[in-house]
Amino acid sequence: MRRSLFWCLTLAFVFAFSQAARARASKTPQKQQVVLTSDGGLEWNSVKKTLTAEKKALVTRGDTLMGADKITAFYRDANGKDGDVYLVKAFGNVIITTPKQTVYADSAVYEIEKSVIILKGNPVKLFAGQERVTAKVLELWQNENMAVARRGVTALKDSRRLEADVVKAYFVKKGNATQVERFEAENNVVISNDKEKVQGDAGVYLVDKETATLQGNVKISQGKNFIVGEVADINMKTGVSRLQMMSEKGKSKKQVRGVFVPESGKKPVEIEKPKAPTVLKGNNSGDDDGRESNEKLLSSSDGE
């Protein structure tokens, strides 16, 4: 009763727990707290073992903040002590901020022990440095420094656009900022900018170098011109691409094929025609007049 009254009177609730998942850089289990706050009060259900916050609800865990219209935390008893939060669900206008990224979504599920956040939206929007990623579903794997975007994925930076069914984004810290180091894309991959478009079944894109390697049914297009192959190394910065074919065991090596379409729609260059000589009418009454007319005609032709 005493604990229940305390929870009802306060607008903050803290669960201490031992994190089951381990960070890559350390083998020591990390102890963090889950803090739930709200401007509209908290509802505690001791039967379902949940605590629900509405109206500017906010969950804080380490350097991860999750805000939403409604948040429910699920906990389990631990040897008669305060419960361990193992799951957090957020609904409506979800915003997640971490040192690596900011994410907007319609709903989110935070698996505490795995340090994985699964977000859904129409679409989910992730901002990391200058990169913007949109998708129907997004998974944040915090211990892996990675995000997995699924269904209708688009990654934008300046004029570069990457599209695929599934895209994995790997984050790296540079100075005081965290940015995307590389993308790994699968199924219906398209990478494009103002100059060219590259398509393939799968690919890896290195953000800083602006280079990509694509495999499977590769097609590189520049306007109406295109070449096709199986493997391509593309430099989006220089516009230089290298395309090759993979030979299957027991089969002859396929050829790289290119189609180049002449520019159309341009008028042919007009060549100016020489002007006809001007004939001066002379008087035919005498020979002198005739010679004078011929001299004028020849003089006119030489001038042209």
Is the predicted pLDDT of residue 27 greater than 90, yes or no?
no
pLDDT of residue 148: 98
188 versus 300: the higher-pLDDT residue is: 188
Q: Give the pLDDT band of residue 177 (cuts 50, 70, 90).
A: confident
Indicate whether 45 pLDDT > 60: yes
pLDDT in tens, 64-115: 999 999 999 999 876 655 578 999 999 999 999 999 999 999 999 999 999 9
Average pLDDT, integer, range 252-278: 48
Residue 238's pLDDT is: 87
* Mean of pLDDT values over 242-267: 56
d(C-alpha 190, C-alpha 137), whole Å: 19
pLDDT of residue 175: 77
Summarize pLDDT for 203-241 with one digit per residue, the tens: 999 999 999 999 999 999 988 888 898 999 999 888 888
Q: How far is CA 35 from CA 14, 32, 38, in A?
A: 5, 10, 10
Neighbours of 244 (CB within 10 A): 14
Q: Which amino acid is at 224?
A: K
pLDDT above 50: residue 134:
yes
30-34, 90-94, 171-175, range with greatest mean pLDDT: 90-94
pLDDT of 131 strictly over 80: yes
Whether the predicted pLDDT of 137 surpasses 60: yes
Read off the pLDDT of each residue in 119-129 and give the average, rounded to a whole number.
Answer: 97
Predicted local distance difference test score (pLDDT) of residue 290: 52
pTM of the full predicted structure? 0.73
pLDDT at residue 225, rounded to an integer: 87
Percentage of the chain modeled with pLDDT above 70: 68
Q: What is the pLDDT of residue 262?
A: 59
- In this prediction, residue 84 carries a pLDDT of 87
Written as six digits, the tokens of 42 are: 């908290």
pLDDT at 40: 85
Whether 153 and 164 have beta carbons less than 8 Å apart is answered as yes
**pLDDT at residue 287 above 60?**
no
The residue among 173 and 143 whose pLDDT is bigger is: 143
How distant, in Å, are the alpha carbons of 126, 166, 235, 266, 284 from that of 130? 11, 20, 19, 40, 89
Average pLDDT over residues 168-192: 93
For residue 26, give Cα distances in angstroms to 18, 21, 146, 174: 14, 11, 17, 20
Q: Between residues 275 and 160, which one has the greater pLDDT?
A: 160
